[in-house]
């Protein structure tokens, strides 16, 4: 099936354009400058000291964009218009943004410019264009989550992550695609269709935040919101050659008022909201904004965004890959390259075994699968496509069926796994691990067979999904290209130490560069 989809770029793109896009009616120094909470007096509209970043507006980082708007080098309206123009130019062939919010985005941009002119306190992302994944509540709109039957689940208010981004001044230009119930690692659904990878239509953009990853890599918005329960931030970041952070559980508040029931316990404890962006500095800035308190999430934790710095040189554990995982040479080379970048930046990298990665992954698989079967499966299967049924059936093949006692034992085992990793971080504050050990698969590989799905989740992306059951932060940063396709690596740190993971990611990015610049050369 993947081969039928993976045709020449133009023919695939022409099919995607049939999917309609709905229109709504209704640098660290740079980070520091952008991170000032308030501005007492506005800078002059045009200033001789106002510095405009180089290149097209849509190519700027979020940090640079926020600074340029703040100092008067560009208006919010001009910024948003540039991103909307970029969206109109590339989205028809990608189908990454599935709800076009151009009209309200321009209204918000005009309001943002008036605020600045009046000297109103400016948020960290004042006037900065972003996208939101269409599986969190966006006030007044249905929360489709890739399912046509969800048309009546209209959001009564913005979800906490949307509210926090808007409060910081970010301007939402569109909502991005996600698979049905955000349950697949491939972004396709009967409502909006297939989302393509901007690097190559023959490989997946990932999932479930595939629309987010595709959009931000292509230059649609500076930051893309996504979420992650089994790799749904880190997998698309790898596939699309961008950076991300899956935060510690409790770091970013979450809630959907449109939901008809509360989420099951372990699904909530293993899920996290987060940003995708082309620059690690933008990921860090977005994390700051997204993580502000919201009383609707009882699991939110007011933990500081930065902790004490470990004694140098910081020891990094290069995770030894289990022998049963068939590692592609390109992946080994990328991991070695990332390790070299870290060592040249002052880290000390040693290849070691991490605590029971196989057992951790199996615990994730058993818990999430059994909880879903009991609480959600029947309802989901009634309203989803045959592709969903195939993919979900494949996900279940590696899970053990648990009775109540066994399920409780599995949830208890989770505590032991977390403890073992926390003790491991005492010696190695950062773990360098693969995202996948194989080349990126085709756009619909999870519909080939149940065995193929098992192969992907267990045999290829084991190091991604396992981290969710631990609730640990994990960053992904692109390292290199192989056959014109991006390869990223994962940086894992202890609970609420996103700063350590992002520091290591930034060290790699400094030497590897921002891969999106190379993508844009091929897209023009």
Q: Which of 184, 240, 228, 187 is nearest to 210 (CA)?
A: 187
Which residues, in sequence order, are bridge partners of residue 174? Answer: 100, 131
CB-based burial of residue 138 (10 Å sphere; 0-12 exposed, 13-18 middle, 19+ buried)? buried
Residue with tokens 């992650």: 228
132, β-bridge pairs: 175
Q: Encoding tokens for residue 225? A: 């919101």
**Nearest Cα to Cα of residue 207 among 440, 479, 522, 505:** 440
What backbone torsions phi and psi does residue 432 show, to the nearest 5 degrees?
-100, 120
Catalytic residue numbers, as ranges? 133, 208, 232
Residue 98 makes CB contacts below 8 A (sequence gap 6+) with 19, 21, 22, 134, 174, 175, 176, 177, 191, 192, 211
Helix (H, G, I), strand (E, B) or coil at 266: helix
* DSSP conformation letters of 387-411: HHHHHHHHHHTTSPP--HHHHHHHH
Distance CA 291, CA 230 (A): 20
- Taking the C-alpha atoms of residue 99 and residue 68, their distance in angstroms, rounded to an integer, is 27
Residue that is written with structure tokens 């989420």 in the block: 263
Q: Tell me which residue of 208, 198, 182 sits closest to 242, measured CA to CA.
A: 198
Q: Which residues of 329-351 are buried (b: 16+ CB within 10 A; e: fewer)?
A: ebbeebbebbbebbeebebebee
Asked if 52 and 68 count as a contact pair (C-beta separation under 8 A), the reply is yes
Beta bridge partners of 130: 172, 223
The answer to whether the CB of 173 falls within 8 A of the CB of 80 is yes
């Amino acid at each position: 099936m993947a081969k039928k989809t993976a045709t020449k770029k133009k023919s695939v793109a022409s099919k995607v354009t049939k999917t309609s896009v709905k229109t709504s009616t209704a640098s660290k120094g740079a980070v520091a400058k952008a991170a000032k909470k308030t501005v007492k007096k506005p800078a002059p509209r045009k200033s001789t000291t106002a510095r405009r970043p180089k290149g097209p507006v849509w190519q700027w980082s979020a940090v640079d964009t926020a600074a340029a708007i703040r100092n008067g080098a560009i208006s919010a309206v001009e910024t948003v218009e540039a991103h909307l123009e970029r969206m109109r130019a590339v989205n028809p062939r990608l189908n990454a943004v599935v709800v076009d919010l151009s009209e309200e985005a321009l209204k918000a941009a005009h309001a943002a410019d008036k605020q600045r002119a009046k000297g109103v306190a400016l948020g960290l992302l004042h006037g900065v264009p972003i996208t939101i994944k269409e599986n969190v509540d966006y006030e007044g709109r249905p929360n489709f989550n890739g399912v046509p039957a969800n048309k009546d689940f209209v959001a009564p208010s913005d979800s906490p992550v949307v509210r926090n981004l808007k409060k910081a001044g970010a301007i939402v230009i569109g909502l991005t695609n996600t698979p049905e119930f955000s349950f697949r690692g491939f972004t396709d659904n009967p409502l909006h269709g297939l989302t393509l990878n901007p690097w190559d239509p023959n490989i997946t953009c990932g999932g479930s935040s595939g629309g987010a990853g595709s959009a931000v890599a292509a230059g649609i918005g500076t930051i893309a919101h996504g979420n992650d329960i089994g790799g749904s931030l880190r997998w698309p970041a790898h596939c699309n050659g961008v950076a991300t952070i899956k935060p510690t559980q409790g770091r970013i508040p979450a809630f959907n008022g449109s939901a008809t029931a509360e989420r099951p316990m372990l699904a909530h404890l293993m899920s996290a909201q987060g940003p995708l962006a082309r620059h690690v500095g933008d990921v860090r800035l977005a994390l700051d904004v997204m993580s502000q308190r919201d009383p609707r999430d009882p699991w939110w934790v007011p933990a500081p965004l930065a902790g004490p710095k470990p004694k140098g040189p910081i020891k990094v554990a290069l995770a030894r890959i289990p022998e049963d995982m068939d590692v592609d040479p390109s992946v080994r080379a990328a991991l070695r390259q990332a390790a070299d970048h870290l060592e040249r930046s002052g880290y000390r990298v040693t290849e070691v075994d991490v605590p029971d990665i196989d057992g951790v992954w199996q615990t994730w698989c058993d818990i999430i699968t059994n909880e879903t079967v009991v609480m959600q499966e029947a309802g989901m299967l009634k309203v989803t496509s045959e592709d969903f049924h195939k993919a979900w059936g494949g996900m279940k093949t590696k899970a053990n069926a648990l009775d109540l006692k066994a399920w409780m034992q599995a949830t208890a085992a989770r505590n032991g796994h977390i403890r073992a990793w926390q003790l491991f971080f005492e010696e190695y504050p950062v773990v360098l691990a693969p995202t996948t050990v194989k080349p990126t698969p085709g756009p619909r590989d999870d519909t080939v067979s149940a065995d193929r799905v098992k192969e992907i989740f267990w045999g290829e992306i084991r190091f991604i999904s396992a981290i969710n059951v631990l609730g640990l932060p994990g960053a992904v940063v692109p390292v290199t290209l192989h056959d014109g396709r991006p390869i990223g690596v994962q940086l894992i740190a202890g609970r609420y130490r996103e700063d350590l993971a992002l520091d290591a990611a930034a060290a790699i990015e400094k030497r590897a560069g921002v891969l999106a610049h190379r993508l844009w050369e091929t897209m023009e």
